[in-house]
Amino acid sequence: MEYSRGDHTSNRLKLLCKIAVLLCIGAAAASGQLTDDYYDYCCPQVYRIVRSRVAAAMKAEMRMGASLLRLHFHDCFVNGCDASILLDGSNSEKFAAPNNNSVRGYEVIDTIKADLESACPGVVSCADIVALAAKYGVLLSGGPDYDVLLGRRDGLVANQTGANTNLPSPFDSISTITKSFQNVGLNVTDVVALSGAHTIGRSRCLLFSSRLANFSATNSVDPTLDSSLATSLQQTCRGGDNQLAALDVNSSDVFDNHYFQNLLANKGVLSSDQGLVSNSDDPTVAATKALVQAYSANGQRFSCDFGRSMVRMGNISPLTGKAGQIRKNCRAVN
């Protein structure tokens, strides 16, 4: 049988790709650590593919950048950063109280995964896709271009109970939230820096309406909430618990330090946001307030600390080496 030069070239490229994938997997198994060059040889187009799909999703709906960032956060705090939040089924984390009808972006991840399976079959994990999508959600909103360490593998099980108990709640005190962070190896700086993710995105009225009426025996409205903002939010929430309000008033789609300036003016929408500066009875607040003041005055410091905290969060209990698997479909184990 005769072969054309094109056949030989095609076969040679396929062989080189297979070798690159084996080297990629072998290096990961040997090191067991995340690296910033993990896909440089086995799927160098991963960055272009993820960025283009995130950009398209944000062009259709700017809010999607914040949603993808939140998806990464909610994944990492349950079972570590293993894409367990993407799994369907009766124990799916999607149906846990903090995620149900709240966490978004699953379809964007599906689209990215389909592109990558076509370009680099069986190479890029869903967990790494979630981490990279969050990065580009931040970057394309005007935020810092931090390095994402890669080489995660995908978990085999979801943990709905863990999602219900491990994720910080907007109703928690700052001390309780800080303890949740400490439980996964993060610290007070991470609490404040990652709270700054609320510089983009929106919240349902359900999560802050308790601050707007019948707040206490002595105050109808939460006294730590700016009165003009309270009036505006009351009007928004007349439409019901699922109405949306910007978390960063007047700067909802731009990643900047305006969120921290709002907190100092009592314009934090969520109780857990305003609590970073306003609850003097909480022993943790002295430290968090100092950081809020620093970030409010210095946007560059916030961007640097945010990038570092994202890397630290992305390193929560990742599966590496031969643990887990590379899912072909992010919604189901192979």
User: Could you give the CA distance from residue 231 to residue 222 in angstroms, rounded to a whole number?
Assistant: 12
Read off the tokens for 87. Answer: 């799994």
Nearest to 108 by CA among 142, 134, 87: 134
Radius of gyration of the chain (CA): 22
Instruction: Please enumerate, as own/partner, the contacts of 130-133 that have beta carbons within 8 Å and a separation of 24 or more.
Output: 130/68, 130/71, 130/72, 130/75, 130/81, 130/83, 130/85, 130/86, 131/72, 131/81, 131/314, 132/46, 132/47, 132/50, 133/50, 133/53, 133/54, 133/68, 133/71, 133/72, 133/105, 133/108, 133/109
Is-catalytic flag, 258?
Answer: no
State the catalytic residue, choosing from 72, 74, 198, 258: 74
Q: Which residue has the tokens 């983009």?
A: 200
User: Could you give the CA distance from residue 204 to residue 45 in angstroms, rounded to a whole number?
Assistant: 36
Read off the tokens for 214. Answer: 């019948």
User: Could you give the CA distance from residue 311 to residue 194 in angstroms, rounded to a whole number?
Assistant: 11
Which residue type is seen at 251? S
Read off the tokens for 46. Answer: 């991963």
Helix (H) or strand (E) holding 244: strand 244-246
User: Could you give the CA distance from residue 75 to residue 83 in angstroms, rounded to a whole number?
Assistant: 6
Nearest to 257 by CA among 144, 178, 169, 103: 144
Q: Catalytic site residues?
A: 74
